[in-house]
Chains A and B, each alone.
Chain A
Amino acid sequence: MLQPRMARLLLLPGYALLALTLIGPLITTLVISLGRRAPSGGYETALSIENFASVLSRSTAFLNTVQLSAFGAAICILAAIPVAFFIAKHLKGSVRYTVLFLVVLPFFTSFVARTYAWYFALGGRGLPAVLEWIGLGRFRFLNTDFAVAIGIIYAYLPIAILMLFVAFDRIGDDLLEASNDLGRGKVETFFSVVIPLAMPGLISTYSLLFILLSGEYLIPMLLGGGKVYFIGNAIVDLFLQSRNWPLGSAVAISLMSMMIVVAFLSQIFQRMANRDGRIG
């Protein structure tokens, strides 16, 4: 329908945007990561991989990030499975989409405002005050791993439910009925039919959550008070405080490389799960 020349013309603004906001910035970051910090901060031309060796000095941040992201993504999935399955297989018609919409809606509201809600709820006058009033003793939630984990799960649960809904929705009801007719109970059907068939979806959801979580800065900053130190915190400190752009860029590129590895592994595992699903 479209003439090739017309199509090229229509794509032109898209190319300009990608060059200006994606390719240009990423290449600049790569170049700067090979440079040196200028005496007054910023960047000085150089060509070395020194910064990537110094990335190891931030290994605590990497370890923290990997641990809390792996844990947070796992909890998100475990909490999302029953809800997504309930919406996909037990609700019908317009109720189903209304409920799904209500679950996803928080994802389209302000991250800062939602994280602030937990800052408020876990802060001195929130939950700790309630618990003390009941007589359970003194508690402190803010600035702990627990608070960061809660914030992470809260923020990313909607997207987990949405992705798992899609995975469960694809499984035909006839397969569940067939399993039932063959004498398998609901629980057994769930574990021997639904989970294996949804495995590729579970894997892609887990890896996406892991990738999203490991780029977090806001949640560890507000709910962890900067004491729970993520790679995101390290990057912001390096850029906006010590103004060590080359090291900051090297940390960012290491973070991205880690994410690419995770995405790649996820592809391999999904393919394996697909094959297993077909045989089983």
Chain B
Amino acid sequence: MRAFSLFIFLFLYLPVAVIVVFSFNAAPNMSAFTGLSLRWYAKAFSNPLAIAALTNSIVIALCSAVVSTAIGSAVAIGLMGTSRTTRIVVQSLMMLGLAVPGIVIGLASLVFFSAAFSGAEQAVAMLAGWEQAAKLFSFGRPTVIAAHSLFCTALVVEVISLRLRQLNPSWLEASNDLYAGRGETLWRVVVPFIVPAMVAGGLLSFVLSFDEFIIAFFVSGTKPTLPVYMFASVKRGATPELNAIATSMLTISILVSVVAFSFLRRGQARA
């Protein structure tokens, strides 16, 4: 069993290790390793299309993380004070947001936003008599951020609710006994208690949004995110430059996930 587990580890990490190693390969063709070099990173990071996609991905991931941490924290706290029915409905809808496959969310967002956009454009054209209204809205960063915020928020709600379940009710009573109002208790007891979970949820949202492919593929319009750009490039064949881009993406997500999980564990250790 130990040997088999080791084999599975190799299976999980070896292919990734191969592209990491070959991203530092000096040779122009990928058949042999001839020496260390950063030339493919230099090439990848001087490619304007790749840079535009990277910028796009970072902006989208940051916005999705901020939006979903804000909404997710509010929802998780709000769920503590609602009826059972509301709680079950909201929680099931959030779970649905996580469970519906990306391809369905992607196409559903595509048809919904294009219907909403053309409706809004017609309304503007009619009300303001403005001819140019037909190109008022288009797919791009905002549509990707909106679609990503759904599953990111669902994740944040889940992470923070888990943390809130560990909140000792006697602290709230103590706060009340010390003449703190409800608002003050919320702000000075509950919020500080969930901060590690908020940070972890935000960081995980960043990673999930940064790496997400299929939804962005549908709703990013003419501005691809990094995974979409990479997908389009891979279809033209593997190159050393792609190895460098893939390695950079893996590095970013691994670093952010490690920090996120350390926050999750810190939260648990203190409780």
Contacts and interface: CB of A to CB of B under 8 A. Distances in A.
Interface of A: 1-4, 6-11, 13-14, 17-18, 20-26, 28-29, 32, 43, 79, 82-83, 85-87, 90, 97, 101-103, 105-106, 108-114, 116-121, 123, 125-126, 129, 154, 157-158, 161, 211-212, 214-215, 217-218, 221-222, 232, 235-236, 239-240, 245, 248-249, 252, 255-256, 259, 263
A165 B124 CA distance: 55
A215 B105 CA distance: 11
Contact of B150 (A3, A22, A221, A235): A22
Interface in B171-190: 172, 182, 185-186, 190
B109 interface: yes
Interface string B190-232: 1000000000000010011011011001100000000100110
A169 B20 CA distance: 34
B78 A114 contact: no
B47 to A, nearest CB: 16
A59 B244 CA distance: 40
Given A14-B71, A25-B105, A154 B12 contact: yes
B51 interface: no
A7 to B, nearest CB: 3
Given A11-B74, A82-B4, A108-B253, A1 B112 contact: no
Interface string B53-92: 0000000000000000011101101111110001000100
Given A1-B182, A109-B257, A14 B111 contact: no
Interface stretch (B35-43, B131-139, B235-243): B235-243
Contact of A28 (B31, B82, B115, B149): B115
Interface in B94-108: 94, 96-97, 99-105, 107-108
Contacts of B26: none
Given A25-B112, A215-B101, A14 B253 contact: no
A116 B250 CA distance: 12
B83 to A, nearest CB: 8
Contact of A117 (B9, B15, B99): B15
15 contacts: A1-B190, A11-B86, A18-B97, A24-B112, A108-B204, A108-B207, A109-B254, A112-B246, A116-B19, A116-B242, A117-B16, A121-B15, A126-B18, A221-B231, A252-B104
A97 B265 CA distance: 10
B248 to A, nearest CB: 9
Given A21-B146, A256-B100, A118 B82 contact: no
B1 A86 contact: yes
A98 B112 CA distance: 43
Counting chain B CB atoms within 10 Å of each CB, which of A111, A129, A221 scores highest? A111
A29 B107 contact: yes
A235 B107 contact: yes
Nearest to A232: B103
B227 A112 contact: yes
B97 A11 contact: no
Contact of A239 (B77, B78, B107): B107
Contacts of A239: 107, 110, 218
B79 A11 contact: yes
Nearest to A213: B101
B122 to A, nearest CB: 14
A250 B97 CA distance: 20
B168 interface: no
A266 B244 CA distance: 42
Contacts of A110: 210-211, 227, 246, 249-250, 253
Nearest to B8: A83
Nearest to A97: B265
Given A7-B78, A116-B234, A157-B8, A21 B19 contact: no
Contact of A116 (B153, B230, B258): B230
Given A111-B227, A157-B12, A7 B108 contact: no
B182 A14 contact: no
Contacts of A24: 112, 116
Contact of B22 (A120, A129, A245): A120
Nearest to B233: A116
Counting chain A CB atoms within 10 Å of each CB, which of B78, B99, B254 scores highest? B78
B2 interface: yes
Nearest to A42: B114
B150 A218 contact: no
B108 A252 contact: yes
B52 interface: no
A125 B257 contact: no
Interface string B13-35: 10110110010000001110000
Contacts of B13: 106
A214 B100 CA distance: 11
Given A14-B75, A43-B111, A108-B254, 14 more contacts: A11-B74, A13-B70, A14-B72, A21-B97, A24-B112, A83-B5, A90-B2, A109-B16, A111-B213, A117-B16, A121-B15, A125-B238, A240-B218, A256-B100
